[in-house]
């Protein structure tokens, strides 16, 4: 092939670098032009990517950032769900399917807990003498024992704690429901790969679990003829199948008065535990179950590590509708991670559940309110947070009311409460003033004390509170920026 002559090299070294080489053939020229065009395309993509990254960084810098803090099971995740429902309802709706599996696992976990309590009671006390004839399992009555006035009903007095209550009928029910234990662990491992605790409904922060579960739901809906076409989508159906299969036995277990007496005797208050759905078995244990907003609020999913949530406001208009909310695990061994977020947030929502009669699960020697106050003192005194709005949620007001109505006295758990009235307004005021005092005393600079009484599973009331919180955060941030 004839070579193409090359003109004289110019004096400009950059122009010389771009000139074709001497004696370049036509084939070499075509290849060189193609390589130059590809290099130019890659360069444009890099420039566009850098520009887009710069825009995202700037947008994130201007976004509102909120940190949710509080001990484990204080209501952080439920507050986050309320925030999403109030301001990003379409996103909340898209994730509804993902919560179905969590709710089903919460229900199975409650049943497993009852089975364990029954087994413990059986091991320590033994069975009652079977009523003759031994009552069989009755789906109509939902009870496994005879009338409470029968010869084997528990006796009042000091011997009640040692009185055998359970019969062989309960043993048979225990055996029928025992497969749930292994099924639960297998289901958790399939739906949430590599969970931090296979025996707990839990996820690691940053795993984007909702998108994963929602994808399984779409696979199920798109392939109704072959629902077990993939192991993952089949796993999601497995939870529904388990509950439908064991539904009547679960209802019988929960409706049995003897079981409730055993739970009370063993100090197990299932109703106060997160993720309680035993009152809704008939509604949830069906093939076409779809979680309600209230179901999602009640669902319990343990977060291990830090989870970042990005919201774009849908229901309100503002200059920059981007919000980043950080849900940090509340377990005591995770609190060292909190400080790394302190210098980049405009507000902290601190949840302090008024469960005065409960202790920490990870350290049963520490009262929950005592622990909340210790955390609160550390946050208020932190100099990194001197320009940060700290908003206190006195949470679980519904649980507080139930505890007081049951006859529990605050002074039996909090000695300093003394003989003050044992009612909701008085108890709430006492703890509110405790938090207010430390807020004023320990803050590096004077700042406003923001507080709300909440029951975050109440979506309507909490939604109204969050609208006010949002406005307060924005105004506080602007005032500290000398804008207003």
> Per the annotation, where are the binding residues for Mg(2+)?
303
Query: What are the φ and ψ backbone dihedral angles of 306, each rounded to 5 degrees?
Result: -110, 130
Residues tagged in the binding site annotation for GTP: 395-398
Residues tagged in the binding site annotation: 303, 395-398
């Amino acid at each position: 092939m004839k070579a193409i002559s090359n003109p004289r090299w110019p004096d400009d070294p950059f122009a010389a670098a771009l000139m074709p080489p001497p004696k370049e053939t036509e084939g070499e020229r075509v290849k060189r032009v193609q390589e130059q065009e590809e290099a130019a395309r890659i360069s444009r993509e890099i420039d566009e990517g850098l520009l887009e990254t710069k825009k995202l960084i700037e947008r994130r810098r201007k976004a509102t950032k909120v940190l949710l803090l509080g001990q484990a099971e204080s209501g952080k995740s439920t507050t986050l769900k309320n925030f999403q429902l109030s301001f990003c309802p379409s996103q909340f709706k898209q994730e509804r399917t993902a919560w179905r599996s969590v709710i089903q696992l919460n229900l199975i976990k409650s049943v497993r807990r009852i089975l364990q309590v029954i087994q413990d009671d059986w091991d320590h006390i033994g069975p009652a003498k079977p009523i003759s004839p031994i009552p069989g399992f009755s789906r109509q009555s939902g009870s496994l024992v005879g009338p409470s006035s029968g010869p084997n009903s528990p006796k009042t007095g000091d011997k009640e704690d040692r009185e055998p209550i359970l019969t062989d009928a309960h043993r048979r029910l225990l055996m029928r429901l025992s497969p749930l234990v292994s099924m639960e662990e297998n289901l958790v491992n399939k739906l949430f790969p590599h969970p931090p605790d296979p025996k707990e409904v839990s996820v690691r922060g940053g795993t984007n679990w909702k998108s994963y579960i929602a994808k399984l739901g779409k696979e199920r809906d798109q392939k109704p003829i072959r629902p077990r076409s993939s192991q993952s989508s089949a796993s999601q159906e497995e939870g529904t199948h388990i509950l439908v299969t064991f539904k009547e036995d679960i209802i019988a277990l929960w409706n049995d008065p003897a079981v409730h007496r055993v739970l009370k005797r063993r100090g197990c208050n299932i109703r106060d535990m997160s993720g309680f759905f035993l009152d809704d078995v008939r509604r949830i244990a069906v093939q076409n179950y779809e979680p309600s907003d209230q179901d999602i609020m009640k669902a319990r999913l343990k977060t291990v590590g830090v989870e970042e949530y990005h919201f774009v406001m849908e229901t309100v208009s503002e200059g920059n509708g981007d919000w980043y909310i950080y849900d940090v695990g509340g377990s005591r061994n995770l609190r060292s991670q909190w400080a790394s977020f302190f210098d980049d947030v405009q507000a902290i929502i601190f949840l302090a559940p008024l469960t005065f009669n409960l202790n920490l699960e990870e350290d049963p020697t520490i009262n929950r309110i005592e622990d909340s106050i210790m955390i609160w003192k550390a946050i208020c005194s932190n100099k990194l947070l001197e320009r940060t709005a700290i908003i206190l949620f006195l949470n679980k007001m519904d649980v507080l009311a139930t505890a007081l109505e049951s006859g529990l006295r605050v002074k039996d758990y909090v000695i300093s409460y003394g003989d003050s009235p044992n009612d909701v307004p008085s108890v709430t005021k006492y703890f509110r003033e405790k938090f207010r005092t430390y807020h004023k005393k320990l803050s590096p600079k004077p700042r406003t004390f923001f507080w709300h009484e909440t029951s975050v599973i109440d979506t309507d009331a909490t939604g109204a509170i969050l609208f006010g919180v949002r406005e307060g955060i924005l105004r506080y941030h602007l005032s500290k920026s000398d804008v207003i």
